Amino acid sequence: YQQPAPKPRGRRGGLIAAVLVAALVAGGLGGGLGYTLAKNDDGGSTTVAASDAGASQVKRDPNSIAGVAAKALPSTVTIEAESTNGQGGTGTGFVFDTQGHIVTNNHVVADAVDGGKLTATFPDGRKYDAEIIGHAQGYDVAVIKLKNAPSDLKPLALGDSDKVAVGDETIAIGAPFGLSNTVTTGIISAKNRPVASSDGSSDSKASYMSALQTDASINPGNSGGPLLDARGAVIGINSAIQSSGSGGGLGGSGQSGSIGLGFAIPINQAKYVAQQLIKTGKPVYAKIGASVATSQDGAGGATISDQGAGGGAAVEPGSPAAKAGLKSGDVITKLDDTVVDSGPTLIGEIWTHKPGDTVKITFKRDGKEHTVDVTLASRIGDSAS
């Protein structure tokens, strides 16, 4: 699969105007449901912060939700990104290490990629200029670094998203609609939910994830914030919600919010991506070297086609797919034990692996089922190659 070009930037407007829209591609909820990247596209809006003046000094159990939130909040930031022409938005991030690296979504910082302004504000009011270290449009992960970072940074503990179970408690932290330092709770509603998020203009500008689904309240402005388990360890990056609104853009009276369907990038994948971005500044993607159709065409799988998002050859010569004998028209139905029902599902599943991993691919050709082992190759950077 050839990675599409980066999505275009948003625009200023009302409180949630021009929030990017995503599309559900598979996973049992049905095609066509609208998803919204949980970013507040209004960098100029006034942030309303709750005051703790006069709050009770009653001690909380450190293992309670209040205890977990009190420990995690100082390690989260509200991010404001603004482009050179005034476009901007607000999102969330969390401290990744003591050197000042902050992990967030790519779509949160996209406005500031080409010379724009980026700031990060902690709950205690400390505000820092920041720079983008690396961003991965396909994974929708980015790493920024605080300029003149303080010496007292406390990275959030990272959990193991592979061990998360449906029904586990979740805690989300973010800045919904500009309301910084907001804490919400819920459970893990589903795992491995294939979601493709984009600006709604083109399948070729999508990001793909095999997401953790949660009913914790997530709204525009929560993007990039941590999804925590009951112990306070990060298990995901809050990235998208199902929107109850219709159409592509949100603005005016068309304000859409949480309806209990939120999606987070699993932290095991995000950690790997963040480490690569810190190391080289560029993302590394696993690939099989085949272009697949990104629409649901009723084929019951991922169809290898030169009409895929990359627009190139159906099977790249010398690629793992070519070596395995795959060719245009083959319909991939499983990757290892995971059922593949569309191109985006396949892409999301491949990207949960690392280059060099060997996977088992099941495909149909002329009505007959075949299974082959494929060792994944790598591609560096977001541009198609």
pLDDT for 200 beyond 90: no
Query: Which pLDDT value is given to residue 197?
Result: 78
Query: Which pLDDT value is given to residue 26?
Result: 31
- For residue 385, tell me if it sits in a domain: no
Query: Which pLDDT value is given to residue 205?
Result: 61
Tell me what the mean pLDDT of segment 88-102 comes to.
95
- For residue 3, tell me if it sits in a domain: no
pLDDT for 69 beyond 60: yes
On whether the CB atoms of residues 122 and 264 are closer than 8 A, the answer is no
Closest CA to 138 of 355, 350, 280, 331: 350
Q: What is the pLDDT of residues 174-198, one digit of tens each?
A: 999 889 999 999 999 999 999 887 6
Q: For 158, which DSSP code?
A: B
Whether 90 and 111 map to the same domain: the answer is yes
Mean pLDDT of the chain: 82
Per the rule left: phi > 0, alpha: psi between -120 and 50, beta: everything else, 377 is beta
H/E stretch holding 262: strand 262-266
Whether 194 and 104 map to the same domain: the answer is yes
Give CA–CA dist 222/42, Å, rounded: 13
- For residue 4, tell me if it sits in a domain: no
Query: Which pLDDT value is given to residue 242?
Result: 82
Give CA–CA dist 34/247, Å, rounded: 8
Domain that holds residue 303: 284-380
Q: Can you list the alpha helix ranges (DSSP code H) found in 221-362?
A: 267-280, 320-323, 343-350
- 140, 199, 215, 330: which is the annotated catalytic residue? 140
Q: For 48, which DSSP code?
A: P
- For residue 300, tell me if it sits in a domain: yes
Q: Hey, what are 202's tokens? A: 């083109």
Would residue 160 show up in a list of annotated catalytic residues for this protein? no
CA distances from 274 to 115, 156, 180, 281, 282 (A): 21, 14, 24, 9, 10
Query: Which pLDDT value is given to residue 251?
Result: 29
Tell me what the mean pLDDT of segment 101-114 comes to.
94
Whether 86 and 159 map to the same domain: the answer is yes
Higher-scoring residue by pLDDT: 9, 96: 96
Would residue 223 show up in a list of annotated catalytic residues for this protein? yes
- For residue 306, tell me if it sits in a domain: yes
On whether the CB atoms of residues 133 and 143 are closer than 8 A, the answer is yes
- 223, 239, 258, 291: which is the annotated catalytic residue? 223
Number of domains within the chain: 2
- CATH for 266: 2.40.10.120
Whether 79 and 193 map to the same domain: the answer is yes
H/E stretch holding 102: strand 101-104
Query: Which pLDDT value is given to residue 306?
Result: 78
Query: Which pLDDT value is given to residue 246?
Result: 41
Task: State which of 227, 260, 281 marks the end of a domain.
Answer: 281
Whether 360 and 222 map to the same domain: the answer is no
Whether 324 and 355 map to the same domain: the answer is yes
On whether the CB atoms of residues 213 and 81 are closer than 8 A, the answer is no
User: pLDDT tier at 60 (50, 70, 90 boundaries)?
Assistant: confident
Higher-scoring residue by pLDDT: 112, 51: 112
Query: Which pLDDT value is given to residue 41?
Result: 61
**Least confident interval from 1-15, 140-154, 216-230, 367-381:** 1-15
Give CA–CA dist 37/182, Å, rounded: 17
Would residue 198 show up in a list of annotated catalytic residues for this protein? no
Whether 120 and 213 map to the same domain: the answer is yes
Higher-scoring residue by pLDDT: 367, 7: 367
Query: Which pLDDT value is given to residue 100?
Result: 97
- CATH for 299: 2.30.42.10
Chain centre to alpha carbon of residue 27: 17
Query: Which pLDDT value is given to residue 33?
Result: 36
- For residue 116, tell me if it sits in a domain: yes
R_g over Cα of the chain: 20
Whether 181 and 319 map to the same domain: the answer is no
Whether 115 and 196 map to the same domain: the answer is yes
Whether 25 and 138 map to the same domain: the answer is yes
